[in-house]
Structure 1
Amino acid sequence: MKVTIEIDCSPEEARRFMGLPDLAPLQDRYVALLQKSLEQSTQAPEALEAIMKSWAPMGEAGTAMWRRMFETAAKPGG
């Protein structure tokens, strides 16, 4: 037997249903700080890249974790 459930909701409704926090204000602040840093920066591109990597949650390990999770979820039969 196969049962399919389809849920029609916005990302905001899904976030609330899952009990996840609203990070929009934090993201807005993060983007503003990044923009300010880019506008005032006279540093080399390599230094800017290092700053951006340090700001990312869990750095490259976090990115790799999310990539593996999505790859696993996208596999057929997963």
Structure 2
Amino acid sequence: MKITVDIDCTPQEARTFLGLPEVEKMQEAVMKELQAKMLDNIANLDPENMMKTWLPVGVQSLEQMQKMFWSQFNTGENDKK
């Protein structure tokens, strides 16, 4: 035997019926605060600081790799002379 029950209600009505807490106001407040902080942080970022923040190790290692290659090229040229 199979019984199917269809209930037509809004999410708010279902939460109330099941006794779940009202969280919409809290979610709205948290989202407004999060949006304000994100917009403030985005406004304060400029491309140079962003690159320094995101790629400090990568840029340093690239510079070191370039120096190593140039030193190897220079050593090879000095050996030929």
| TM superposition score normalised by structure 2 | 0.50
Equivalent residue, structure 1, for 2:11? 11
The answer to which structure has the higher helix fraction is: 2
- Give ranges in structure 1 of 5+ residues lacking alignment: 45-78
For residues 23 and 35 of structure 2, what CA distance do their matches in structure 1 show?
Answer: 18
Q: Give the partner amino acid of 1:15.
A: R
Structure with greater Cα Rg: 2
Alignment-mate amino acid for residue 23 of structure 1: V
Length-normalised TM-score, structure 1: 0.51
- Which position in structure 1 is the counterpart of 2:63? none
Runs of 4+ in 1 over 4 A off after TM superposition: none
Gaps of 5+ in 2: 51-81
Number of residue equivalences:
45
Q: Secondary structure at the match of 1:31?
A: helix
Q: How far is the alpha carbon of 1:28 from its aligned partner?
A: 0.7
Per-residue displacement from partner, 1:28-73 (whole Å, max 9, x unpaired)? 11111111111111466xxxxxxxxxxxxxxxxxxxxxxxxxxxxx
In 2, Cα distance between equivalents of 1:6 and 1:35: 38
Structure 1: distance between partners of 2:2 and 2:35: 49
